[in-house]
Structure 1
Amino acid sequence: MQLRHTYTNLKAIAWVTIGTALFSLIFASGKFVAGWSVSPLQILFLRYAGGLATLLSVVAARREHLSNYRSKKPFSHLWRAIFGASGGGAIIYASANMPIVDATAISLLYVVFVILLGVLFMRDRLTVQHIGAVAICCAGASIIMASRGAFTAFRLAYVFPACIAILGAALMAVEGLMIKMLSRFDRAMTVLLYVNMFGILLMAIPAFIQWRSLQFETEMLFALLGPIAVTAQYCIVQGYRLASLSIVGPIDYTWLIFAGVIGFLFFGEKPTLGVALGSAIIAIGGITLAITKPVASERDSKSPA
Structure 2
Amino acid sequence: MAAAALTDNFKGALLMMASMAAFTLNDTFVKALSGDLPLNQLLFLRGALTTVFVGLLAWRLGAFGRRIPRRDWLLVGLRLMAEIGSAYFFLTALFNMPLANVTAILQSLPLVVTLTAALLFSEPLGWRRLSAILIGLCGVLLIVRPGTEGFTLYSVYALVAVGFVTIRDLSTRRLSAETPSMLVTFLTSAAVMMFFGLGSLAEPWVTVTPQAGLFILCASVMIIGGYLSSIMVMRVGEISFVTPFRYTGLLWALMLGWVVFGDWPQTLTLVGAAIVAGSGIFTLYRERQLARAGRIRARV
TM-score (norm 2): 0.71
What is the DSSP-based 3-state SS (H/G/I as helix, E as strand, rest coil) of the residue aligned with 1:125?
Answer: coil
Q: Give 5+ residue unaligned stretches, structure 1.
A: 300-305
* Correspondence 1:294 to 2:298: no
Output the CA distance in 2 between the equivalents of 1:75 and 1:31. Answer: 33
Q: Which residue of 2 aligns with 1:98?
A: 97
Q: Is the CA contact (8 Å cut-off) linking 1:184 and 1:241 kept in structure 2?
A: no
CA deviations 1:219-272 (Å, max 9, x no partner) are 453144233223323444555689999988766544322210211331234699
Q: Is the CA contact (8 Å cut-off) linking 1:108 and 1:253 kept in structure 2?
A: yes
CA deviations 1:172-224 (Å, max 9, x no partner) are 11112223333733233222211112222222211222353122632453144
- % identity of equivalent residues: 18
* Correspondence 1:233 to 2:232: no
Q: Which residue of 2 aligns with 1:171?
A: 164
Q: 1:59 to 1:15 in 2, by over 3 A?
A: same
What is the DSSP-based 3-state SS (H/G/I as helix, E as strand, rest coil) of the residue aligned with 1:209?
Answer: coil
Q: 1:288 to 1:177 in 2, by over 3 A?
A: closer
Q: Is the CA contact (8 Å cut-off) linking 1:24 and 1:259 kept in structure 2?
A: yes
- 1:289 maps to amino acid: L
Output the CA distance in 2 between the equivalents of 1:183 and 1:39. Answer: 37
Q: Which residue of 1 aligns with 2:259?
A: 265
Matches within 5 A, 1:1-305: 15-36=15-36, 38-59=37-58, 62=60, 67-72=64-69, 73-121=72-120, 123-127=122-126, 130=129, 155=149, 159-182=152-175, 184-215=177-208, 217=210, 218-219=212-213, 221-237=215-231, 239=233, 252-269=246-263, 282=277, 286=281, 289=284, 292-295=288-291
CA deviations 1:2-49 (Å, max 9, x no partner) are 99999988776665443333222223344312332x222222222221
Q: Give 5+ residue unaligned stretches, structure 2.
A: 296-300
Offset of residue 70 of structure 1: 3.5
Q: Is the CA contact (8 Å cut-off) linking 2:58 and 2:64 kept in structure 1?
A: no
Output the CA distance in 1 between the equivalents of 2:127 and 2:10. Answer: 20
